Amino acid sequence: MALRLTLIAHGATIATRLAAFPRDEPLEDRAIRHAAALGRRLGRADRILTSPALRARQTADVLGLTAEIDDELRDCDFGRWTGLRLAELAVAEPDGLAAWLSDPDALVHGGESITAVVQRVAAWLDLQVAGAAERVIAVTHASVIRATVLHAIAAPASSFWRIDVAPLSRTEIVAQGGRWTLRSITPGAADSGAAP
């Protein structure tokens, strides 16, 4: 029996618009309207999960999903960079930012490395295969979705930044015979902005 997992990137926040490392902030009003429209097209699921972050929980609510919180779907821990804009870091810590964007093992902000995120998500995906659900919907973050795609296509962590994940985009993977396959990526809202 195949497991179909649909990951939905949370809606845009002020951090998305400012290209900043997010705090635990709510969705912007425009994102709420976009999410409400998307919710009508999701279909049924055996299990619905969400990251514990406010922006993910709020997205699930607006989508009309009754979701259980799964801590493994949390965003990357950006450490002391939380709340800072990429433009600020490019001036204040250009070498650190360059290292973080080029080396998945770099831990310059004191939070979580890209490699650690990829490993966490891979372990979570392995647990989902062992479950009984046939269709799972998970509302989460761009970092988790990038890591999911890497795991599904067996790509290295160094490819993390080559995957663009827009707010409210949907990424679907399928597990059959113990192997994940990337099935589709559906773009999100066109005016959603950019974020780390």
For residue 89, give the CATH number of its domain: 3.40.50.1240
Q: Structural domain tally of the chain?
A: 1
Output the six-digit token pair for 19.
């290209």
Q: What is the pLDDT of residue 193?
A: 47
Query: Does residue 128 lie in a domain region?
Result: yes
Query: Does residue 24 lie in a domain region?
Result: yes
Give dist(CA 26, CA 78) in Å, integer: 18
Query: Does residue 196 lie in a domain region?
Result: no
Query: Does residue 8 lie in a domain region?
Result: yes
Q: Which amino acid is at 34?
A: H
Q: What angle do CA 64, 37, 146 make, to 5 degrees?
A: 80
The structure's pTM equals 0.93
Output the six-digit token pair for 130.
């062992």
Query: Does residue 195 lie in a domain region?
Result: no
Q: Please, what are the averages of pLDDT over each run of 10 residues along the chain (196 residues)? A: 92 95 95 86 89 98 96 98 96 97 96 98 92 88 98 96 96 91 84 50
133, 3 Cβ separation under 8 angstroms? yes
Q: How far is CA 182 from CA 46, 144, 194, in A?
A: 20, 14, 23
Q: Which domain holds residue 130?
A: 3-186
Query: Does residue 193 lie in a domain region?
Result: no
Output the six-digit token pair for 117.
């995120």
Residue that is written with structure tokens 């097209």 in the block: 41
46, 134 Cβ separation under 8 angstroms? yes
Query: Does residue 194 lie in a domain region?
Result: no
